[in-house]
Amino acid sequence: GAVVSQHPSRVICKSGTSVKIECRSLDFQATTMFWYRQFPKQSLMLMATSNEGSKATYEQGVEKDKFLINHASLTLSTLTVTSAHPEDSSFYICSAMQENQPQHFGDGTRLSIL
């Protein structure tokens, strides 16, 4: 089945650090990748939609300068949390999909900002 690899799985860092998270589709070319944030016992909250070679589309309330998304190829998207603060601590999950197919998710990144 479709495999999406997300790295790293866990990050603990100091306030003010920038953190980069990678999302790769390993066995298919993804027309679209998504980045979500999830709080405990809550739904996945879509942050942005990313298409290869174009700028990401951010959801309302998500700061694009805070959460930088780069979609360099059909198999790789990165999310950089710039100058992270404790309130940015969360579980970040990416997904990738081909047109008219279900989304396939990475295993998430647990980000903890001290």
Partner 1 sequence: SQKIEQNSEALNIQEGKTATLTCNYTNYSPAYLQWYRQDPGRGPVFLLLIRENEKEKRKERLKVTFDTTLKQSLFHITASQPADSATYLCAKALAGGFKTIFGAGTRLFVKA
In the complex, minimum distance from the CB of residue 66 to partner 1, in angstroms, rounded to a whole number: 21
Site for partner 1 in 91-110 (CB under 8 A): 91, 93, 95, 97, 99-100, 102-108, 110
In the complex, minimum distance from the CB of residue 87 to partner 1, in angstroms, rounded to a whole number: 21
Q: 84 or 93, CB closer to partner 1? A: 93
Q: Is 30 in the site for partner 1 (CB under 8 A)?
A: no
For residues 72 and 55, is the Cβ–Cβ distance under 8 A? no
- 112 CA to centre of own chain: 15
The contacts of residue 77 (CB under 8 Å, 6+ apart) are 22, 23, 30, 33, 35, 50, 69, 70, 71, 94, 96
In the complex, minimum distance from the CB of residue 40 to partner 1, in angstroms, rounded to a whole number: 10
